[in-house]
Amino acid sequence: MSNLIVLPLIVPIITAILLVFLRENVMLQRIISLLTLSFVVLISVILLLEIQDQGVMRIDFSGWAPPFGILFVADSFAVLLVLIANIVAAICLLYAMFTIGKSYEKMYFYPFVLLLVAGVNGSFLTGDIFNLFVCFEVMLLASYALISLGGDKIQLREALKYVLINVVASWIFLVALAFLYGTVGTLNMAHISVRVMEAGADPLITTVALIFLIVFSLKAGLLLFFWLPGSYSAPPTAIAALFAALLTKVGIYALVRSFTLLFPNNTEVTHLVLGIMAGLTIIAGCMGALAGRDVRTIASYNVLIGVGFIVAGLAIGTESALQGVTYYLMHDMVAKAMLFLAVGMMIYVTGETVIDNMSGLIRNYPFFGWLFFIVMCSLAGIPPLSGFLGKILIGQGAIEGGNFVLLGLGFLSSLIVLYSLLRIFLSSFFGETIISLEDEKPLPKRIVLPLTLLVACTIGLGIGAEWLAPYVIDAAETLYTPSIYIDAVLDGTTWQGEVNK
């Protein structure tokens, strides 16, 4: 048991409350927010190292032993995601400090960002499915405020759509929780898994599993994504980058945890549905990326392609594919933040959003141009950048499992991603420049710095794959073998017999 596990949730929440009272002191808000996220990154690294030594860790709140109490569980999968999420959030916050303006900063921007990050961290670490709902709501309430911050007409329109769909999804989530509790009599994730395995291929449990699939698909943008392109295009660049990097990943995490731990039975039904939805999401995302002329729209549909690809790895379900899912989730957080920051910088220097109205940017901003080139290569999965290894591992899993349709769709999507971003690169960065020397808007180093740091992250994730491999392998093993997680949470031979039934 380690008290460190709860710090990624409570430290951002306490700091957010403190920052409410520092509304007028913007500089102090900036410093405290960055220090808070840096502290969570440090805690995540310590937890990751401890998990390698001790195995899966947990903390029981108020001393109530599972399955009766509330608990947080730290395994390699959850802590890797907490680590990358907080690194990306810190870099997006750095970009916001230089671009978003004091009017936004004085509207409680930093408290809302920290609450959003707290909800994300709590969702990754909770071992209780009702607490997952609570952490989802903390994250969503903060995102409701961030998407409408500033009060532009387009923001309010998209915020209304975003809020309505998430309220409906949350209501369905509560209904699913009620059915699940009524069926298995527990909300502890490990205990749910034991009870579901005891019940076997029960039609009611399969129905409940499919309801959870709908809920988490809405939140992840899996097939039911009609709310996503507009919602991610409306807010300022720093907020859009945060959303693209973190929000859909929490929905994907919930899908992964549900269909590797909570509902291990009847995989021929659940994984078939996951595979179909993943394939259709990839196809729809590719069509949107090819048809789009607005850089923000193209970026948003690239988010959907990533969602479909990751869930395809989950549907394949082999240990290699789950290693790929873990690695690609980390990559996708970094890569989508990079893409949205790069797109935002293009809009900043040109005042345009349509690629046909941009041209020759590399002559005015050569360093930025080549940063965009690296972003494009990373998203397309070109080695040695971070996107390569995740794609290869998911592909290997697809071959092992005989899922050749998903394999073909996945790697076709890589070509579409490359083409859609190459279209932006060639049209916007090459050709005759549209910006005269007199009209050239300076691109200060402090604005380019966050994108440079994310590019360093994607290179580091690719080149440092060997260093990360033990943690990714451990994460995939825990996902592939639920008994590891169950034994760590319920710790006792009392439950071993039930797990092995």
pLDDT tens-digit readout, 316-331: 999 999 999 999 999 9
Please give the structure tokens belonging to residue 246: 């973190």
What pLDDT is stored for residue 1 in this prediction?
A: 54
More confident residue, 316 or 442: 316
Helix (H), strand (E) at residue 136? helix 129-148
Helix axes 295-316, 267-291, angle to 10 degrees: 160
Question: Would the pLDDT of 448 be above 70?
Answer: yes
Total-model pTM? 0.94
- Work out the average pLDDT over 142-160: 85
Rounded Cα distance, 462 and 419, in Å: 22
* Cα-based torsion angle of the residue sequence 323, 337, 297, 436 in order, rounded to the nearest 10 degrees: -140
What integer pLDDT is reported at residue 362 of this predicted model? 85
Residues 400-409: what's their mean pLDDT? 92
Structural tokens at position 77:
């999968």
**Which pLDDT belongs to residue 47?**
95
pLDDT at 477 over 60: yes
Asked if 394 and 321 count as a contact pair (C-beta separation under 8 A), the reply is yes
CA–CA separation, 34 and 30 (whole Å): 6
pLDDT band, very low/low/confident/very high, at 3 (cuts 50, 70, 90)? confident
Does residue 474 surpass a pLDDT of 70? Answer: yes
Q: What is the mean pLDDT of residues 175-193?
A: 92
Q: How many CA atoms does the CB half-sphere of 136 hold within 13 Å?
A: 25
User: Mean pLDDT throughout 242-265?
Assistant: 93
Q: Are 145 and 139 in contact (CB under 8 A)?
A: no
Rounded alpha-carbon distances, angstroms, from residue 382 to 317, 392, 415, 418: 24, 11, 11, 9
Is 194 within 8 Å of 487 (Cβ atoms)? no
pLDDT tens figures, 347-369: 888 888 888 888 888 888 889 99
Q: Name which of 296, 237, 279 is nearest 101 in CA terms.
A: 237
Contact 51, 76 (CB under 8 A): yes
Q: Residues near 103 by Cβ (< 8 Å), separated by ≥ 6?
A: 150
Question: What does the block give as tokens for 162?
Answer: 């975003």
Q: Is 377 left (phi over 0), alpha (psi -120 to 50) or beta?
A: alpha
For position 436, what pLDDT does the model report? 62
Give, for 203, the enclosing helix (H) or strand (E).
Answer: helix 203-220
Q: How far apart are CA 123 and CA 128, in angstroms?
A: 10
Provide DSSP, 149-197: TT--HHHHHHHHHHHHHHHHHHHHHHHHHHHHHHHHS--BHHHHHHHHH
CB-CB neighbours of 497 under 10 Å: 9
Residue 500: predicted pLDDT? 47
Q: Does the structure show a pLDDT above 90 at 342?
A: yes
For 4-136, strand residue ranges (E) read 57-60, 71-74
Mean pLDDT computed over 249-272: 91
Q: What are phi and psi of 74, to 5 degrees?
A: -115, 110
pLDDT score recorded for residue 189: 94
The pLDDT of residue 292: 86
Q: What is the pLDDT of residue 497?
A: 47
Instruction: Specify the pLDDT at position 493.
Output: 40
User: What's the distance, CA 341 to chain centroid?
Assistant: 16
Please name the residues in contact with 165: beta carbons below 8 A apart, sequence gap of 6 or more. 218, 227
| pLDDT of amino acid 180 | 92
- 10 Å CB burial of residue 458 (0-12, 13-18, 19+) is buried
**Percentage of residues in the chain with pLDDT exceeding 70?**
95
- Over residues 84-100, the mean pLDDT reads 94
**Digit-coded pLDDT (tens) for 243-254:** 999 999 999 999
Secondary structure (3-state) at 101 = coil
Q: Give the Cα separation of 353 and 345 in Å (integer).
A: 11
pLDDT at residue 494 tops 60: no
What local confidence, expressed as pLDDT, does residue 39 receive?
97
pLDDT tens figures, 64-76: 888 888 899 999 9
Stronger pLDDT, 67 or 240, i.e. the higher one: 240
Whether 478 and 402 have beta carbons less than 8 Å apart is answered as no
Q: Which tens digit of pLDDT belongs to each residue from 189-204?
A: 999 999 998 877 778 8
Q: Where are the beta strands (DSSP E) in 225-353?
A: none
Q: What confidence score (pLDDT) does residue 75 get? A: 95
> Hey, which bits of 9-55 come out as E strands?
none
**Spatial contact of 170 and 137, defined as CB atoms under 8 Å apart:** yes
Closest CA to 227 of 311, 308, 157: 157
Res. 491 pLDDT band, cuts 50 70 90: confident
Low-confidence winner among 3-7, 126-130, 395-399, 487-491 (lowest mean pLDDT) = 487-491
Identity of the residue numbered 106: K
Record the tokens describing residue 448, joined without a space: 């380019």
| Cα–Cα dist 330/155, whole Å | 29
pLDDT at 273: 93
Q: What percent of the chain has pLDDT over 90?
A: 68
φ/ψ of 390, rounded to 5, equals -60, -45
Rounded mean pLDDT of 215-223? 90
Contact 122, 141 (CB under 8 A): no
